[in-house]
Every structure is written in C-alpha cells, then in structure tokens.
C-alpha cells in the first residue's frame, strides 16, 4: 500500500480570478457572531445534553450496518438523522462565532487571505464549473445556513433550492436570503430519505459542500441527483475522503480516523474512487477529480482555526469560572476543539482530506444541441460541447505535471 498521496493542484486555480471577492464587513460578522452567541447562551440543559450525545454516530460508519443496529437499533437511519439535527442545531452557532458560518474549510486557493475569502474563491470556481444557462434552477443538498446559496444567486442569477436536515439552519437560510432579496427555496429534508421531492429533469446544476459524507447510500443518492437534473447539466462536489496513504490496518491511522470523524461530522468514509464509482453508476460522466487547493493541504487553515477556537475556549473557561457565562459554554468549546491536532496530523500526512473535488456531467444523450453558459462563465453567450470537455478535462492523482500544465492552459483559454 502506498504511503504518500500525490496532491494535485486544481488546474482552474492556476488561472487568475478577476472578479472582486465579496465578503461580509466587520459589522455583519460581529452581528452574526453575537446572534449565535445569544442562542448558545440560552441553550437548555436538554439541548446541550442532546448535542453531546449526538457524537455517538461518529464512532460508527454506514459501511458497518451490524454495528449501527447494535448501537442505535433497527431504525438506525432515523436515529442518525435525529442525532444530526441535534448536532448541527448547536454546531452551526459555534462555527458562526468564528470564520466558519458556512461550516466548511475550503481548499486553499490563496494562502494570503482569510478562510472566508477562500470560501468565496472556491464558490466562484464552482459557479464557473457548473456553466449554468440563464434563469437556471440549481439544487444544493446540505445547504446549511443558505450563505453559499445566496452567493451562487449573486454570481449567476440562478434560483437555488436548498435541502437540509436542521430546521435551525433552514430558518437562518430563509431569513438571510429574504434579506438579500433572493427567492431561493429551502426545504427540510433528510438526504437519506429518498426519493428526492422533485420532478425529473427539474434542475440545471447541482453542487454540495461536505455533505455527502453523511449519505448512507451514495449510489442511490447520485442516481436521484441524476434523475432530477436536465441532460447536459453538471455537478460539483466538495467532500472529505480517505486517501491512498491511509492504511485501515495501521493502529495509529485507525486512532487518527476515530479522532477526525467527529470533528468534520462524517458518518461515512468515502474514497475518491468510491465517489467516482457512485457517480458513474448513476450515469454521470466524469470531467475531473482531484485534491483541491495549493499542494492539496488544508493544514495552514486548520492551524489558524485551531488558534482562534483555542483562544475562544480559553476565554470561555475564564468567563464561566467567574460566573459571567453558563458552564455549558466550557463543555461546548472543549468538545468542539477536542482532537484538532489529530485532524492536522492526518491532513499533513495526506491520510485524509476534506477538500476532494469531483466534477461530472449528465450526458446530453440523444438530445443533442448546445447548452448556454451563464454570464459568469465568460461573455454573453458562451457555448460548450459537453462531450469534448469531458474527455479533455479529466484529472486524477497520477496525472503528470506536463498534462496538468496543458490542462491549465486550456482552462485559461476558456476563462
């Protein structure tokens, strides 16, 4: 078994992004943090207890159904869904206090700017990759607080339909998108409760950000996404994956994996290949897949976030000690920051990543014709041939550097 995963820099990040990245001002960030702080302050003992107990699912894995049944019972899928609701109802507010309101650590596309700025850069990349037509309908599974959906609408004028299991986050998504003047829809739905509540060929594109690690059956969910997309539509996925260097027989690797899964909220343990297999079995044609970002590592951001949340934990310990905050703040921040060093070590060792990126498309089949790109993709009416792009843009971890350079040149020419 290999001991090192070759990281591939996303070829599109080598092109210059000329748009101005928009991010919330200091007042908006402070306002959001204070709202979440007040929610956390008013949590009941029952809510805190439910949050702490929800971590049981991260000691399990969808692949081991017998263990799921032994721990959670025969209705384990519903139990997992309930735990996820309890988990995210609190975690989203803990994340919103810092730079993680969108609840994902992005690929590092520009190491000189913040985590939030890199989220925006990544979302711009997704908007380009989807190549949406005018007046597009886009599906977002695991939409969280709806900030990514709002940014997608801002960039492309698409209408986004977001699904999420947590009603607390959905309420925030609805309020924020209404404030921004967007007519995006947000639906309370467990992605593991299939079929999806949509008509065949309803959407022009699909993206998800670190949500499919919660999926019980990737092939079935990918088949449902395929069903609800129009021919020629693209999908963009960013998620966690165990990499080639991870050895499930290595005790230290096992220990790191057990420590990391609760931090990132993963029930499943996909590999790059298992996601490709799920997409292709559904009928999608792969365009490219790779470890995203500069050098394929997130450790610099993980260390920055660790420093921030450790400082916050230290402050909470002091404030709870003198009675200015309820004691559950200490409990929450201690749990949130637990095992962060293991996450950093696993990333540096290239055992896992949370920024693996897959792009695929639903073939046009016999429909023929061309699909108009959104104004964001280039000029007013750029067209693309999906069959040509599929073969030319496929990337994987063994792609030689010369091929990556050639791909980057083609991508730059299209931009």
User: Per-residue pLDDT for 26 more than 80?
Assistant: no
- Measured at the alpha carbon of residue 399, what is the angle toward residues 394 and 405, in degrees to the nearest 5? 85
Taking the C-alpha atoms of residue 5 and residue 243, their distance in angstroms, rounded to an integer, is: 7
Taking the C-alpha atoms of residue 208 and residue 225, their distance in angstroms, rounded to an integer, is: 11
Give the pLDDT of residue 375.
36
The residue that leads in pLDDT, 373 or 312, is 312
Query: H-type helices in 21-165, by residue range?
Result: 26-41, 45-54, 65-72, 76-96, 115-130, 147-156
156-181 burial, b at 16+ Cβ within 10 Å, e below that, comes to bebbbbbbbbbebbbebbbebbeeee
Per the document, the length of the chain is: 415
Give the pLDDT of residue 391.
33
User: Per-residue pLDDT for 402 more than 80?
Assistant: no
Facing residues of 163 across strands?
Answer: 141, 187
Q: φ and ψ at 44, to 5 degrees?
A: -85, 160
- pLDDT, tens only, 237-267: 999 999 999 999 999 999 999 999 999 889 9
Query: pLDDT class for 117, splitting at 50, 70, 90?
Result: very high
- Measured at the alpha carbon of residue 375, what is the angle toward residues 369 and 377, in degrees to the nearest 5? 75
| Whether domain 11-16+23-414 has CATH 3.90.870.10 | no
| Closest C-alpha to 354, from 311, 278, 291 | 291
Question: Could you tell me if 363 and 115 are in contact, meaning their C-beta atoms sit under 8 angstroms apart?
Answer: no
Across the chain, mean pLDDT equals 84
User: Per-residue pLDDT for 3 more than 60?
Assistant: no
Taking the C-alpha atoms of residue 125 and residue 51, their distance in angstroms, rounded to an integer, is: 34
Taking the C-alpha atoms of residue 38 and residue 42, their distance in angstroms, rounded to an integer, is: 6
User: Per-residue pLDDT for 392 more than 50?
Assistant: no
Min mean pLDDT across 123-132, 202-211, 310-319, 363-372 is at 363-372
Compute how many other C-beta atoms are within 10 angstroms of the C-beta atom of residue 6: 16
CA 144 → CA 22, 230, 391, distances in Å? 19, 24, 33
Query: pLDDT class for 187, splitting at 50, 70, 90?
Result: very high
Query: pLDDT class for 23, splitting at 50, 70, 90?
Result: low
Residue written as token pair 């703040």: 329
- pLDDT, tens only, 118-135: 999 999 999 999 999 999
User: Per-residue pLDDT for 209 more than 70?
Assistant: yes
Average pLDDT rounded to a whole number, residues 151-169 = 96
Question: Could you tell me if 344 and 306 are in contact, meaning their C-beta atoms sit under 8 angstroms apart?
Answer: yes
Question: Could you tell me if 42 and 247 are in contact, meaning their C-beta atoms sit under 8 angstroms apart?
Answer: no
Give the pLDDT of residue 98.
81
What tokens appear for 245 in the block? Answer: 């260097």
Query: pLDDT class for 25, splitting at 50, 70, 90?
Result: low
Query: pLDDT class for 280, splitting at 50, 70, 90?
Result: very high
Question: Could you tell me if 289 and 276 are in contact, meaning their C-beta atoms sit under 8 angstroms apart?
Answer: yes
The structural domains of the chain, with segments of one domain joined by +, span: 11-16+23-414
| Closest C-alpha to 173, from 153, 191, 149 | 149
- pLDDT, tens only, 215-228: 999 999 999 999 99
User: Per-residue pLDDT for 405 more than 60?
Assistant: no
Give the pLDDT of residue 52.
97
Give burial (CB, 10 Å; 0-12/13-18/19+) of 201.
middle
Average pLDDT rounded to a whole number, residues 170-194 = 96
Average pLDDT rounded to a whole number, residues 271-282 = 98
Query: H-type helices in 322-400, by residue range?
Result: 328-337, 340-348, 386-392
Taking the C-alpha atoms of residue 9 and residue 372, their distance in angstroms, rounded to an integer, is: 28
Query: pLDDT class for 32, splitting at 50, 70, 90?
Result: confident
Query: pLDDT class for 28, splitting at 50, 70, 90?
Result: confident
CA 331 → CA 32, 103, 306, 328, distances in Å? 22, 20, 17, 5
Give the pLDDT of residue 6.
35
- pLDDT, tens only, 341-390: 999 999 999 999 999 999 999 999 744 333 433 333 332 222 222 233 33
Query: pLDDT class for 33, splitting at 50, 70, 90?
Result: confident
């Amino acid at each position: 078994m290999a001991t090192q995963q070759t990281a591939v820099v996303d070829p599109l990040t080598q092109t210059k992004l000329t748009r101005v990245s928009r991010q919330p001002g200091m007042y908006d960030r402070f306002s959001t943090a204070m709202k979440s702080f007040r929610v956390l302050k008013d949590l009941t003992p029952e809510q805190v207890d439910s949050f702490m107990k929800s971590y049981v699912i991260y000691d399990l894995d969808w692949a081991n159904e017998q263990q799921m049944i032994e721990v959670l019972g025969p209705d384990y899928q519903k139990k997992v869904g309930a735990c996820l609701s309890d988990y995210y109802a609190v975690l989203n507010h803990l994340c919103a206090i810092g730079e993680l309101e969108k609840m994902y650590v992005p690929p590092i596309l520009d190491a000189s700017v913040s985590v939030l700025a890199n989220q925006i850069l990544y979302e711009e990349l997704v908007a380009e990759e989807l190549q949406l037509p005018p007046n597009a309908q886009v599906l977002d599974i695991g939409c969280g607080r709806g900030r990514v959906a709002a940014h997608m609408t801002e960039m492309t004028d698409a209408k986004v339909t977001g699904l999420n299991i947590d009603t607390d986050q959905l309420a925030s998504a609805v309020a924020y998108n209404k404030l921004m003047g967007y007519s995006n829809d947000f639906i309370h739905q467990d992605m593991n409760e299939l079929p999806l509540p949509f008509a065949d060929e309803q959407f022009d594109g699909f993206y998800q950000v670190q949500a499919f690690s919660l999926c019980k059956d990737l092939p079935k969910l990918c088949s449902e996404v395929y069903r609800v997309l129009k021919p020629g539509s693209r999908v963009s996925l960013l998620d966690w994956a165990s990499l080639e260097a991870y050895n499930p027989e290595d005790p230290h690797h096992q220990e790191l994996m057990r420590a990391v899964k609760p931090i990132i909220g993963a029930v499943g343990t996909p590999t790059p290949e298992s996601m490709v297999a799920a997409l292709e079995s559904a009928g999608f044609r792969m365009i490219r897949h790779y470890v995203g970002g500069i050098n394929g590592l997130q450790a610099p951001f993980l260390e920055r976030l660790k420093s921030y949340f450790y400082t916050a934990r230290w402050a909470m310990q002091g404030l709870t000690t003198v009675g200015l905050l309820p004691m559950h703040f200490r409990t929450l921040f201690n749990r949130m920051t637990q095992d962060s060093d293991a996450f950093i070590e696993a990333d540096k060792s290239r055992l896992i990543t949370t920024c693996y990126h897959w792009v695929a498309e639903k073939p046009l089949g016999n429909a023929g014709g061309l699909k108009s790109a959104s104004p964001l993709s280039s000029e007013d009416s750029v067209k693309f041939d999906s069959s040509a792009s599929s073969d030319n843009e496929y990337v994987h971890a063994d792609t030689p550097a010369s091929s990556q350079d050639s791909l980057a040149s083609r991508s730059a020419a299209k931009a």
